[in-house]
């Protein structure tokens, strides 16, 4: 075993010595050879091909920068036409610029003869690792981009999502801030907002208000219906078209339930809802209509 190791070491030493001697001989030969003998071969075999690659790389660089400017200008026009949020527009433009510049650099390096496959594989692996580590954050980022692009809601809208209701106070790239009716600020992640169920109460200009008013059995139904129609007609916030709907909705155990439906501007929804409740309560008492309460008749034998 020791003899084999010694032989290997001697062999490696001889090989190294041979390589050094070959290099020295090459340098001596080059030094003693006239320039006119090796310069044409150097120009033909190395300088000319590299010069062609260099010129091609410069042309691709100039052309690529011109194309990137065209793409950025076109994207700017599209974002301006869609009235996109300025913060999102700036971020997207920076992201597109970095990506296109990176692709241009890879193309130029490849033209110069450098193998880019290992570099691309390394960057792809690094990107995958970063993406897995920041999966939740990237999901919220993607959700914020989708919200700002498609605008399912905007600042000032009243929405219901993820078990919360409130007015949208601020839309950020990762989160949306919602102000609840009792003045609590709730921060909702954009990832779940963009993929989950969401109700936007402010999207449409009008909303329907529904009530169910009850009268006792034996009360005059026609009188109650006429009274409700008159109260709807007297409220200027209630729209005439479509006309208010007042019909007998259900014969309940202890009451006769009358369904009332009207259309109002979205901004007047709650004001009309509470105002009508108060008017009906006072008017029923004045007109002799009783609002029943649950009751049960028990017969004893």
Q: What is the DSSP string of 208-238?
A: EEEEEEEE-TTS-HHHHHHHHHHHHHH-TTB
Residue boundaries of the structural domains of the chain: 39-133, 152-200, 206-286
The two domains 152-200 and 206-286 share their CATH topology (first three levels equal):
no
Closest by CA position to 149, among listed 157, 160, 138, 141: 141
Distance CA 237, CA 121 (A): 65
Please report how the helices 86-111 and 135-150 are oriented relative to each other, as an axis angle in degrees rounded to 10. 120
Which residues in 203-241 are b (16+ Cβ under 10 Å) and which e? eeeebebebebbbeeebeeeebbebbeebbeebeebbee
191 vs 199: CA distance, rounded Å: 16
pTM reported for the whole predicted model? 0.56
Say whether pLDDT at 7 is over 50: no
Question: Of the candidates 154, 54, 64, 164, which has an alpha carbon nearest to the alpha carbon of residue 105?
Answer: 64
Domain 152-200, CATH 2.30.30.60 — does that match? yes
Question: Could you tell me if 70 and 109 are in contact, meaning their C-beta atoms sit under 8 angstroms apart?
Answer: no
Q: What is the Cα–Cα distance from 260 to 283, expressed in whole angstroms?
A: 15
What average pLDDT does range 175-200 have in this prediction? 90
The listed CATH number (3.30.470.10, 3.40.1410.10, 3.40.570.10, 3.30.70.100) that belongs to domain 206-286: 3.30.70.100
Kindly state the average pLDDT of the residues 64-92: 78
> Is 97 in contact with 68 (CB distance < 8 Å)?
yes
Name the nearest CA neighbour of 101 among 66, 74, 65: 65
Give the pLDDT score at 46. Answer: 60
Q: Which of 61-75, 180-194, 236-250, 273-287 has the lowest mean pLDDT?
A: 61-75
**Using one digit for the tens of pLDDT, what is the confidence trace for 16-45?**
566 556 666 655 555 565 655 555 655 555
Comparison of pLDDT for 230 and 172, the residue scoring more: 230
Q: What share of the chain is helix, strand, coil (3-state, %, to 5)?
A: 60, 20, 25
Q: What is the dotted CATH code of the domain comprising 39-133?
A: 1.10.287.1260
| Residues 239-282 pLDDT 10s | 999 999 999 999 988 899 999 999 999 889 999 999 999 999 99
Q: State percent of the chain over pLDDT 70.
A: 73
Cβ-proximal residues to 203 (8 Å cutoff; 6+ apart), any chain: 153, 157
Q: How far apart are CA 85 and CA 99, in angstroms?
A: 21
Angle, CA of 144, 92 and 81, to the nearest 5°: 90
């Amino acid at each position: 075993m020791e003899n084999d190791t010694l032989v290997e070491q001697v062999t490696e030493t001889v090989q190294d010595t041979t390589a050094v001697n070959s290099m020295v001989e090459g340098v001596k030969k080059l030094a003693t050879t006239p320039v006119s003998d090796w310069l044409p071969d150097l120009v033909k075999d190395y300088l000319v091909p590299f010069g062609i690659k260099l010129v091609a790389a410069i042309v691709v660089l100039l052309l690529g920068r011109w194309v990137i400017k065209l793409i950025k200008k076109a994207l700017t026009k599209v974002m301006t036409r869609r009235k996109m949020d300025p913060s999102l527009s700036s971020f997207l433009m920076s992201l597109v610029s970095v990506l296109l510049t990176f692709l241009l650099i890879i193309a130029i390096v490849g033209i110069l003869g450098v193998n880019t496959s290992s570099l691309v594989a390394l960057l792809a692996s690094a990107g995958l690792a970063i993406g897995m580590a920041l999966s939740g954050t990237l999901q919220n980022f993607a959700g914020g981009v989708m919200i700002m692009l498609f605008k399912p809601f905007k600042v000032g809208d009243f929405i219901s999502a993820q078990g919360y209701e409130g007015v949208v106070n601020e839309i950020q790239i990762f989160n949306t801030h919602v102000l609840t009716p009792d003045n609590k600020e709730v921060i909702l992640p954009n990832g779940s907002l963009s993929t989950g169920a969401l109700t936007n109460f402010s999207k449409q200009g009008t909303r329907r208000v529904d009530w169910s008013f009850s009268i006792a059995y034996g009360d005059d139904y026609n009188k109650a219906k006429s009274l409700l129609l008159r109260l709807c007609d007297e409220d200027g916030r209630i729209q005439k078209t479509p006309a208010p709907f007042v019909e007998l909705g259900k014969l309940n155990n202890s009451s006769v339930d009358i369904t009332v439906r009207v259309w109002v501007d979205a901004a007047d929804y709650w004001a009309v809802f509470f105002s009508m409740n108060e008017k009906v309560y006072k008017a029923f008492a004045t007109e002799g209509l009783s609002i029943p309460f649950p009751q049960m008749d028990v017969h004893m034998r």
